[in-house]
Amino acid sequence: MAVVNRCAVGIYPSGQLLDWARGLDLDMEVAGAREPCLYLIPDYDTEEEAEEILEEVYEAIFEAELDYWHRDAATWPAERTYPVFRKWFKVRFYPLIQDLVGEELTATELDEEFIGELRTALEGVEQLL
């Protein structure tokens, strides 16, 4: 077993996000209202450091979460500041990531072609539900 040189932040929807989703008549179960999304972030030593890191990357997370819930960016909130992010999402930091697989970790860069293929695949799954 190996320890990965990353930490994670779990992003959970809060009441603000759920109210927005209900206003769009989104299916909460399909959208995964109870499950967090995890994002790997750099190592940190203190909760304050973790908050600083999150404040540096929150915009990408905010947009990824909104896109996950509803792809039409025109429906997203116009104000996407850090305080708004913290109102829309509950956050939990995970300071230790252990790799139980034992294989080399790889990363795939998300380009527009890959994202398009992923969306097409997910649309097929949504239609089955």
Distance CA 43, CA 69 (A): 28
- pLDDT top residue among 53 and 119: 53
DSSP 74: G
Taking residue 31's Cβ as centre, other Cβ atoms within 10 Å add up to 16
Give pLDDT tens digits for 61-111.
999 999 988 889 999 999 999 999 999 999 999 999 888 887 777 777 776
Q: What is the DSSP string of 72-105?
A: -GGGS-S---HHHHHHHEEEEEE--EEESS-SPP
In 3D space, the residue among 36, 22, 21 whose CA is nearest the CA of residue 66 turns out to be: 21
The count of C-alpha atoms lying within 13 angstroms of the C-alpha of 30, restricted to the half-sphere facing its C-beta, is 16
Give the number of domains in the chain.
1
Domain that holds residue 47: 2-128
**Residue 30, helix vs strand vs coil:** helix
Could you tell me the pTM of the whole model?
Answer: 0.78
pLDDT at 32: 55
Question: The tokens of 92 are what?
Answer: 């939990």
